[in-house]
A and B are shown apart, each in its own frame.
Chain A
Amino acid sequence: DAMVIQNPRYQVTQFGKPVTLSCSQTLNHNVMYWYQQKSSQAPKLLFHYYDKDFNNEADTPDNFQSRRPNTSFCFLDIRSPGLGDAAMYLCATSRGGTPSTDTQYFGPGTRLTVL
């Protein structure tokens, strides 16, 4: 089945130690997104790639970076994780095209713990 895959499902890191989260997709979608979801809150968009074009949300901290080396993979890098960065990180993909009808499909998420 075509899907969005996130690895690892659970990640533990230390305060200030860089960490990378991974997302891959077999849907051959043009757009990939990273969301942050803190406990009992709605997901918050951090950034997205449309093909190779990177689009950062205005309020995404500089501590968060992303890379998309090819169509299938996208990475989220947190350069110096703080305690406030502990959250579920959700990757999503969409085909692209007309914005109002484009549908996003989510992966299972990576739960990040910062010690």
Chain B
Amino acid sequence: GDSVTQMEGPVTLSEEAFLTINCTYTATGYPSLFWYVQYPGEGLQLLLKATKADDKGSNKGFEATYRKETTSFHLEKGSVQVSDSAVYFCALRGTSYGKLTFGQGTILTVHP
């Protein structure tokens, strides 16, 4: 079945550092890929998405490129801020209707 694996966390960075959170997936067919962010005590917010190979999703300085050859969708940001501290979930939507398959989540903490 479909699965998503995220790099183990938590990740702790200083403000303005470069961020990478790795995400790899296993799926049949051509899934869509998503990054969601969850701030403490809140629901999930869609951060960015990509629906086909080589697509690059971007939002608020975050980027991720859908790499079919390496089955990856790594999240990057050039300069993180304290306000980026949150839990980040990589997810895929396959051809089976209804379910988003999530990774285990990565806790990001950014210090001033």
Contacts and interface: CB of A to CB of B under 8 A. Distances in A.
Interface string A52-90: 000101000000000000000000000000000000101
Given A99-B96, A100-B94, A101-B51, A109 B30 contact: no
Contacts of B45: 106
B102 A99 contact: no
B36 A106 contact: yes
Contact of B43 (A31, A45, A106): A106
Contacts of A55: 97-98
Contacts of B96: 99
Contact of B49 (A6, A103, A111): A103
Nearest to A57: B99
B85 to A, nearest CB: 16
A3 to B, nearest CB: 11
19 contacts: A41-B104, A42-B104, A45-B99, A55-B98, A88-B43, A90-B44, A92-B44, A99-B98, A100-B30, A100-B94, A100-B95, A101-B93, A103-B32, A103-B93, A106-B36, A106-B45, A108-B43, A109-B42, A109-B43
Contacts of A104: 46, 93, 100
Given A106-B36, A107-B43, A42 B89 contact: yes
Interface residues of B, number: 27
Interface string B12-32: 000000000000000001111
Interface of B: 29-32, 34, 36, 41-46, 49, 51, 89, 93-100, 102-105
Given A33-B98, A100-B29, A101-B32, A42 B46 contact: no
A48 B97 CA distance: 10
Contact of A105 (B29, B30, B46): B46
Nearest to A90: B43
A4 to B, nearest CB: 8
Interface in A6-65: 6, 31, 33, 40-43, 45, 48, 50, 55, 57
